[in-house]
Amino acid sequence: MSQAAASPSPLPPPLAQTACGGTLSDPTGYPSATYKGQTVYFCLRACRVLFERDPDRFMAGLIPHPVEDTPEP
């Protein structure tokens, strides 16, 4: 009696790190920007707005993380 080989499980989407240090299991649909040639993801639109104002200070952790999100434009 032969057993059929089990097909491999599909791989989960790659993890993405947010600019504020969090982890996204699937970054699709999250705000993003390019910083020094790399895609940077944000947990909130408000984070991206603050990043766009001063990317270097934001990435250095010198700008406090917003508590609330900004409304859609």
Q: What is the pLDDT of residues 31-68, one digit of tens each?
A: 999 999 999 999 899 999 999 999 999 999 999 888 77
Question: What is the model's pLDDT at position 12?
Answer: 59
Model pLDDT, residue 41: 93
How far the first Cα of the chain sits from its last, in Å, is 63
H/E segment holding residue 55 = helix 55-59
Residues in the chain: 73
Q: Supply angle C-alpha 32, 63, 28, rounded to 5.
A: 15
Q: How many other CB atoms are found less than 10 A from the CB of residue 50?
A: 21
pLDDT of res. 10: 66
pLDDT-derived band of residue 20, with 50, 70 and 90 as boundaries? confident
At which residue do the structure tokens 């989960």 appear?
12
